[in-house]
């Protein structure tokens, strides 16, 4: 009888222990994802300072978007970089003032304008991207190909999972 009680107690205790281990692992993963996101933001701020030290990082996002996808109107750029249109307009004005972008007549609609990078702007974006790449390569320089393959595969699996939608009251990863 004592053996059965011990066995039952052990079996009910076991799932709780496994659940606690799972929660601890999920918490540790959340902490690492938060660290990755923080490092990514810091790297983007450094790249933005390389782009132009007197402009806010959001200006680099605008220029990077123009480099990646070509000329676009302010509304499209604002949407693409998830910024308010008025804030995007203010930043594009500053980018024009420092000679990194230019506003051109919209070929599809002569009344509107499209934004595009100047040669100076392209050079600055390239320099900032090169700087980001250098820092990234320093972080993984000692990793084996197998480690890189595993990390890329696991991140791909994580990123390919269907979105579950963020809860309104939750802004943290863990």
Question: Which pLDDT tens digit goes with each residue over 5-53?
Answer: 444 444 455 678 888 999 999 999 999 999 999 999 999 999 999 999 9
- The verdict on residue 59 lying in a domain is yes
- The verdict on residue 17 lying in a domain is yes
Residue where the block lists tokens 């990755």: 36
Q: How far apart are CA 94 and CA 88, in angstroms?
A: 10
Confidence at residue 108, expressed as pLDDT on a 0 to 100 scale: 83
- 10 Å CB burial of residue 50 (0-12, 13-18, 19+) is middle
Give the mean pLDDT of 98-124. Answer: 93
Closest Cα to residue 100, out of 77, 119, 80?
119
- The verdict on residue 161 lying in a domain is no
Helix or strand holding residue 105 (H, E):
strand 101-105
- The verdict on residue 160 lying in a domain is no
Confidence at residue 174, expressed as pLDDT on a 0 to 100 scale: 44
Q: Give how many domains the chain has, as a whole number.
A: 1
Read off the tokens for 109: 């609609």
Residue 163: DSSP 8-state: P
Q: How far apart are CA 156 and CA 148, in angstroms?
A: 12
pTM of the model: 0.72
DSSP 114-160: EEEE-HHHHHHHHHHHHHHHHHHHHHHTT--HHHHHHHHHHHHHHHH
Q: What is the CATH number of the domain that holds 56?
A: 1.10.10.10
Residue where the block lists tokens 């900032």: 128
Confidence at residue 109, expressed as pLDDT on a 0 to 100 scale: 81
- The verdict on residue 169 lying in a domain is no
- The verdict on residue 97 lying in a domain is yes
- The verdict on residue 167 lying in a domain is no
Q: How far apart are CA 113 and CA 88, in angstroms?
A: 14
Higher per-residue pLDDT: 159 or 174: 159
Confidence at residue 164, expressed as pLDDT on a 0 to 100 scale: 64
CB 101 within 8 A of CB 116: yes
Provide the domain limits for residue 97: 2-155
- The verdict on residue 162 lying in a domain is no
């Amino acid at each position: 009888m004592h053996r059965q009680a011990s066995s039952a107690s052990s079996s009910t205790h076991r799932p709780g222990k496994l659940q606690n281990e799972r929660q601890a692992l999920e918490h540790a993963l959340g902490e690492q994802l938060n660290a990755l996101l923080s490092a990514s933001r810091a790297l983007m701020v450094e790249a933005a300072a390389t782009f132009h030290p007197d402009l806010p990082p959001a200006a680099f996002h605008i220029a990077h978007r123009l480099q990646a996808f070509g000329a676009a109107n302010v509304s499209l750029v604002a949407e693409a970089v998830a910024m308010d249109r008025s804030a995007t307009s203010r930043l594009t004005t500053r980018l024009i003032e420092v000679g990194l972008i230019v506003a051109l007549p919209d070929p599809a609609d002569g009344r509107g304008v499209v934004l595009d990078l100047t040669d100076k702007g392209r050079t600055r974006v390239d320099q900032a991207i090169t700087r980001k790449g250098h820092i990234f390569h320093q972080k993984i320089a000692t990793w084996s190909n197998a480690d890189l393959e595993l990390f890329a595969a696991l991140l791909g699996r994580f990123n390919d999972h269907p979105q579950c939608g963020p809860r309104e009251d939750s802004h943290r990863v863990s």
